[in-house]
Structure 1
Amino acid sequence: MKILDIFQRKLGSKELLTEEELSIIEDDLIDLKMEEATKNVLVKDFFKDPLKTLSINPEYTFVLSIPLALAFFAIGMAATWGTPIIDDVIIFTVLIAITPPSIAFHKKYKRTSTIEEYLPTFLRDISEMSRAGLTLPNAVNTIAKGEYGALTKEVQGMDSAMSWGVSFEDSLRSFAVRISTPIIVRSVSLITQASRAGGRVSSVLEAAARDAREVKLLEQERRGNMMVYVVIIYMSFFVFLFVIAMLTSAFVPTMAEAGKAASAAGAGNQFIGSFDPAHYTRLMLHTAVIQGFMSGLVAGQMGEGSVSLGLKHSIILTLIAWFVFTFLI
């Protein structure tokens, strides 16, 4: 470290520190403070505002939900070991583990979607103010007083950064790092590359706004078309569940009566004579629950382009399957 080298040298020679050495020491001290400030940023942000941190990083919600689910699993297994209720313990253990993350992923998706919707308006407004003669910092400062939905706080953050001397391009890049979606990254890259190449910034911003709006419209159109497949997945699951429920309520009791008749006729060692209706009912429950969980993940991937966003569908379909077999059969 430069600070230690300078002090060791000066202590040996008993000379006063020069201005250059003082500057080096000051720079090193600033670097040390910056390193200390950036250590464990996520942990500090979590204790400062847990909900905001988890909404930005929803995957970290598993750190809270999984221990809670394991505690429920341990208590449930100890209380229901050897009974059919153990199935309910396993089902709700999984649901407890994925419910908080599914809520966090959904909230982040809605927030980023809103930001993407307001992004073209934000860029177009800056372009118009730039044409009117305002500098980019003044334009952002004026726009920060407006309303842009979930994008408003990000604009205010950019305004604060630019008031401290951060350039418009750097503030945009920081924004793209915080809200890293394909549309935002594409727009920021377009603006920064065009600014480096030269030209009127207002024209670049207008082109970026037009591009972001067109990409968002195409994305919304794609999601609208894919929602048909989400409906098909739900309908397929309900048909599957209806068939399984009919088999369980009609076929299994019939097989059980046939097994009793076969046992009475002396055929107890054959398959029909050893038929256990409770065992096959549990097997049908397991089948329906697994089908519901996996169908939900597929619905999220097809409808919203992400398996994590399918967790909410998995929770809904799994609960429906559990409810049908617990209260209706």
Structure 2
Amino acid sequence: MEWKKLFKNELPLDPNLDEETLRQIEETTVRVGLENSRKNVILKQFIKNPYETLCIYPDYTFILSVPLALIFLILGLIRNWPNPIVDDIVFFSILTAIAPASVMYQKKMKHVSKIEEYLPTFLRDISEMSRAGLTLPRAVATVAKGEYGELSKEIKKMNTLMSWGVSFENSLLTFAKKMNTALIGRSVALITQASKAGGKVSQVLEAAARDATEVKQLERERKGNMMVYLVIIYMSFFVFLFVIAMLSTTFVPTMATAGQAATDAGAGSQFMGAFNPDLFIRIMFHASLIQGFFSGLVAGQMGEGATTAGLKHSIILSMIAWVTFTFFI
């Protein structure tokens, strides 16, 4: 408690303190200042550049889209309840909530994928310069002048951090935390741990570059192999939708006619008279929307290894179901 008051200038500084204590106070003061500067950093970034911030942190898109969807939903239910159109209102409210996040997730995945493509080249170039006798900060400063696609911007940020006195390892950790992907985290962890253990950095960088190259190659092979299952999911949904459409256009009218005939004959209350074709079609409409939404999530998980990547498939399949029932059934 006394230390916190001292850092906040609530207690006077003792002029008789030794040099070691003064150094600790200075370091702690700097650390506290850095921690305070990091507070609300995402909010500051959002105010400065909302679009770029949401591309980096797509989860925060829900903070904007969900309240907007709730407002649309509440107003729609108040004006149209209990008409069947409330189904459309609920459907488009859900789309309003997830569509912006889906776009941002897709943009981030493309951005990160392009960065990961250049990561092995970046690590290999740093390794070669380290073998040539350059220090790591100097090597990064040299590489920052080159062209590495989407990774160039991040390299320049790492170079800026090191020019401020941040170590090579900490600048890599900051980069890995921002990207938050398995491949980058794996490569950075390998480099930092080997560096702390006293290994030869050039060899570690070369090993990390080889590892990143192999992982990206395996990912491309997996995506190619899983594309077949993605097509199967789409085809299965179309078959499901076709069966539902046939039931709605042939079976339901037949059942409705039979129910009316049974009612006219005086036996409707015992067997077919209570059949409601509109309710039956509405239930199948709900089933199609649910099937499309969850099939899309499964497609994203199988095809791209992330459920969030399936949001775009969920939107596409759900929209196909909605268009089918709205305009053709």
The yes-or-no answer on 1:212 pairing with 2:212 is: yes
Q: 1:141, 1:159 within 8 Å by CA — same for their partners in 2?
A: yes
Secondary structure of 1:209's partner?
Answer: helix
Q: Which residue of 2 aligns with 1:264?
A: 264
Q: Are residues 1:97 and 2:94 paired?
A: no
Deviation of the 1:290 alpha carbon: 0.7
Assess, with a 3 A threshold, how the Cα gap between structure 1 residues 38 and 198 changes in structure 2: closer, same or farther: closer
Given the superposition, is the C-alpha separation of residues 29 and 163 from structure 1 closer, same or farther in structure 2, using an over 3 Å criterion?
Answer: closer
Deviates more, 1:62-71 or 1:101-110: 101-110
After TM superposition, list the pairs within 5 Å mapping 1:241-252 onto structure 2. 241-252=241-252
Higher mean C-alpha displacement, 266-275 vs 193-202? 193-202
CA deviations on 1:142-192 (whole Å, 9 max, x unpaired) are 211222122111100011111122221221122111112111111112222
Q: CA deviation at 1:36?
A: 2.8
Task: Kindly provide the amino acid, as one letter, of the partner of residue 64 in structure 2.
Answer: L
Are the structure 2 counterparts of residues 5 and 315 from structure 1 closer, same or farther at C-alpha, using a change threshold of 3 Å? closer
Structure 1 Cα separation of the partners of residues 149 and 80 of structure 2: 49
Distance in structure 1 (CA, Å) of the matches to 2:74 and 2:185 = 44
Aligned-residue identity in percent: 61
For residues 34-73 of structure 1, the aligned pairs below 5 Å read: 34-73=34-73
Aligned residues: 325
- Structure 1 residues 10, 164: CA separation in 2 closer, same or farther (over 3 Å shift)? closer
| Aligned counterpart, 2:233 | 233
1:257/1:71 CA distance change after superposition, 3 Å: same
Residue type matched to 1:91 in 2? F
Q: Higher mean Cα deviation, 23-32 or 218-227?
A: 23-32
Change (3 A) 1:235 1:163: same
Shift, 1:270, TM fit: 2.8
Could you report, residue by residue, the CA deviation over 1:198-240 in whole angstroms, capped at 9, with x for unpaired residues? 3432222111101110011112211221121111000000000
Deviation string for 1:84-116 (max 9, x for gaps)?
A: 111101111111111111111111111111111
- The equivalences for 1:1-329 within 5 A come to 1-2=2-3, 4=5, 17-18=15-16, 30-329=30-329
Q: Normalising by structure 2, report the TM-score.
A: 0.91
Q: 1: CA distance between counterparts of 2:82 and 2:56?
A: 42
Q: 1:80 to 1:131 in 2, by over 3 A?
A: same
In structure 2, relative to structure 1, the CA distance for the partners of 1:5 and 1:143 (3 Å cut) is: closer
Q: Which whole-Å CA distance do the structure 1 matches of 2:218 and 2:150 have between them?
A: 21
Contact 1:296 1:314 in 2 (8 A): yes
One-letter code of the match for 2:288?
A
- Asked if structure 2 preserves the Cα contact closer than 8 Å seen for 1:127 and 1:203, the reply is yes
Aligned-pair CA distance for 1:282: 0.6
Structure 1 residues 85, 3: closer, same or farther in 2, change over 3 A?
Answer: closer
Does the 8 Å CA contact 2:262/2:271 hold for their aligned counterparts? no
**124-133 vs 233-242, which deviates more?**
124-133
User: 8 Å contact 1:2–1:24 — kept in the other structure?
Assistant: no
Question: SS of the counterpart of 2:295?
Answer: helix
Change (3 A) 1:109 1:270: same
Letter in 1 for 2:63: V
- Alpha-carbon distance in structure 2 between the residues aligned to 1:161 and 1:281: 61
- Across the aligned residues of Structure 1 and Structure 2, the Cα RMSD in angstroms comes to 2.3
Deviation at 1:26, TM superposition (A): 5.5
Cα distance in 1, alignment partners of residues 258 and 48 from structure 2: 65
SS of the residue corresponding to residue 134 of structure 2 reads: coil
Contact 1:3 1:24 in 2 (8 A): no
User: What code does the residue aligned with 1:52 have?
Assistant: E
Please list every run of 5 or more consecutive structure 2 residues that lacks an aligned counterpart in the other structure. none
Residue-by-residue CA offset, 1:50-97 (whole Å, 9 max, x unaligned) = 122211221111111110000000111112112111110111111111
Report if the CA contact (8 A) 2:120-2:212 is conserved. yes
* Pairwise CA distance, 1:276: 1.3
| Residue 274 (structure 1) shift | 2.1
Asked if 2 retains the 8 angstrom alpha-carbon contact of 1:3 and 1:28, the reply is no
2:95 partner SS: helix
Q: Distance in 1 between matches of 2:95 and 2:163?
A: 46
